Amino acid sequence: MAADGIPTPPRDGRSRPPACRAKRRTPDHPPVHESPRASADALDPRYRVLAYRYPGCGKLGDAIQTLALCRLLPGQCEAVYRDRLAVSATDTPTVVNGYLCGPPPPDSPNCLFAGVYVERGRHFSPTVGWLARTRFPVAGVRDPATLARTAGRSPRVDFVGCATLTLDPYKSPRRGSYAVDLPTADRRATPLTHRVPRGMTWPEQWTRAGEVLAAYRTAERVYASRLHVVLPCLAFGTPVLLARPRCWFGLTSAQGRFSLFDALGLPYGTLVEQDVGCRRDRFVRFLEASLGHSAGPFESVDPPLPLPPAGASTQEA
């Protein structure tokens, strides 16, 4: 068992258990930060994806979403910090996912929105305008709440779900139980956290995201209320117990953020396995139609760490 409480998952014929299983495999796969997909594309990445840093990020779910998305994109991506996002029509396309809560960039038509959540707040109207300015045919939202909020305000929106639902199922023997930021009566469950400590760099978040995904992928059961624990478990076929998040009580905004659970019809307080293949296919079809080429998963099981954001310091990158 590792020092952080994550035991080595069962081996299935590979030198290490990958965090995200691809449909086509090569004989050996290096860790997430040493993937062989870094090639000529590293000098000229085709897509940019979001990276996060403290204090703008407090949870590991942001890195998990970006990791899940990168495995569907060809070549090596380039990272851009969410709080430094500034793009124009001539820049590399930026594939945007996750929780959009801050001010949008002033000029940003070259963003493909692929599973975003938009909160009602002081940046709501500018963010909806950002979605409307995309040069891509459709802005893909993550959940029914965002679809309802943006329908009629942004002319081209569709409910496509989350990239974490595209992770490939695991069908080998399982072991280990985990409770993620949640008390449980199961004494066998190893406690884990998705909290990002102050000073944790983006590469460290990326590595940690791969580690916890590897644990969830092969687990016997997982207890959680976090969105980006429950959704990967459903994709992996891992039995997961969804606890009602405490922040839901009296807070309609939190209910909206987790409305994807309702769309999936998940019960609370019961271990569940659910086939999310239709959601996986819908997200991949959306990505392929938007980008004009096949989406992965590509041969590399673990996508490489996106190239450092422009202007990032050594400590950040």
Domains parsed from the chain with CATH numbers: 32-164+278-291 (3.40.50), 165-276 (no CATH)
Q: Strand order of the sheet with strand 157-159? A: 78-81, 48-51, 94-100, 111-118, 139-141, 157-159
Cβ proximity of 128 and 150 under 8 Å: yes
In angstroms, the Cα distances linking 19 to 68, 127, 158, 262 are: 10, 32, 29, 26
User: 164 by DSSP, 3-state: which?
Assistant: helix
pLDDT digits (tens, 9 = 90+) for 117-167: 998 888 899 999 999 989 999 999 999 999 999 988 777 899 999 999 999
Task: Choose among 180, 268, 183: nearest CA to 232.
Answer: 180
In this structure, what is the dihedral angle of CA atoms 11, 13, 15, 17, given to the nearest 10 degrees? -40
Mean pLDDT, to the nearest integer, of 307-317? 65
**Looking at the predicted structure, is the pLDDT value of residue 189 above 50?**
yes
The pTM for the full model equals 0.84
pLDDT of residue 254: 58
Q: Measured between alpha carbons, how far is 206 from 202 in angstroms, rounded to an integer?
A: 6
Query: Any idea what DSSP says for residue 119?
Result: -
- Say if residue 283's pLDDT is above 50: yes
Comparison of pLDDT for 25 and 268, the residue scoring more = 268
Q: What percent of the chain has pLDDT over 70?
A: 78
**Per-range mean pLDDT, top range of 6-20, 88-102, 210-224:** 210-224
| pLDDT at 310 > cutoff 60 | yes
Proportion of the chain above pLDDT 90, given as a percent: 56
> For residue 53, what are its two tokens?
């840093």
Q: Which range, of 133-142, 177-186, 304-313, averages the lowest pLDDT?
A: 304-313
**What is the strand order of the sheet 240-242 is part of?**
189-192, 177-180, 221-224, 240-242, 271-272
The answer to whether residues 49 and 80 touch, using CB atoms and an 8 Å cutoff, is yes
Q: How far apart are CA 221 and CA 267, in angstroms?
A: 15
Burial of 254 per CB tally in 10 Å (0-12, 13-18, 19+)? middle
The mean pLDDT of the chain is 82
Q: Are 181 and 193 in contact (CB under 8 A)?
A: yes
Task: Indicate the pLDDT class of residue 239, thresholds 50, 70 and 90.
Answer: very high
